[in-house]
């Protein structure tokens, strides 16, 4: 017969497992959310993927805070990223501490008019994702070319 204590600890463990599964799903969904906001050229939605003080680092680009990220993406969507799509999926997720993980993704920017990601546009990205106010958001995003330049 189970005691009240063992039943209580079993329920607590089940709740923790469910919460961990929900967190893993929310973290793994971030790349898809980035793909969606990019496809819509939604600067507000893109910036909202980041913490208020989040950092976006791309080759030659450093933007800190949602306002800078929003403005950078508005300019980019009207210019070099106009008509582009982005693709990406997690290839590794590493817990760092409670409420913080590192995620590595592969993907890239699909040029306007193209249907597939050219090899030269393929990237790997590092995401530092933190849980703030119950939401998983990017604290830092940085990408670099997937392949060495020739």
CATH value at residue 113: 3.10.450.50
Q: Order the strands of the 135-145 sheet from edge to edge.
A: 61-64, 50-58, 135-145, 122-132, 100-110, 85-97
Summarised one tens digit per residue, pLDDT across range 74-86 is 999 999 999 999 9
Distance (Å, rounded) from C-alpha 81 to C-alpha 94? 30
Strands (DSSP E) contained in the chain are 50-58, 61-64, 85-97, 100-110, 122-132, 135-145
Domain count, the chain: 1
Residue 20 belongs to some domain of the structure: yes
Residue 150 belongs to some domain of the structure: no
- From first to last of its 150 residues, the chain has per-residue pLDDT tens of 555 555 566 666 666 687 788 898 999 899 999 999 999 999 999 999 999 999 999 999 999 999 999 999 999 999 999 999 999 999 999 999 999 999 999 999 999 999 999 999 999 999 999 999 999 999 999 999 998 776
Tell me the two tokens of residue 73: 């993406």
Tell me the two tokens of residue 129: 């994702």
Residue 70 belongs to some domain of the structure: yes
- In Å, the largest CA–CA distance within the chain is 68
Query: Which domain range does residue 119 map to?
Result: 4-145
Give the global pTM: 0.86
């Amino acid at each position: 017969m189970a005691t009240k204590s063992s039943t209580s600890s079993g329920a607590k463990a089940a709740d923790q497992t469910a919460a961990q599964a929900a967190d893993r799903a929310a973290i793994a969904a971030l790349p898809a959310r980035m793909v969606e906001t990019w496809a819509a050229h939604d600067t507000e939605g893109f910036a909202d993927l980041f913490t208020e003080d989040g950092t976006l680092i791309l080759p030659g680009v450093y933007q800190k805070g949602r306002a800078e990220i929003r403005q950078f993406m508005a300019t980019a969507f009207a210019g070099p990223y106009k008509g582009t799509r982005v693709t990406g999926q997690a290839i590794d997720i590493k817990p760092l501490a409670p409420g913080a993980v590192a995620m590595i993704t592969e993907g890239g920017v699909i040029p306007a008019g193209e249907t597939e990601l050219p090899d030269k546009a393929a990237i790997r990205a590092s995401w530092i994702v933190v849980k703030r106010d119950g939401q998983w958001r990017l604290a830092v995003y940085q990408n670099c070319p997937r392949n060495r330049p020739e």
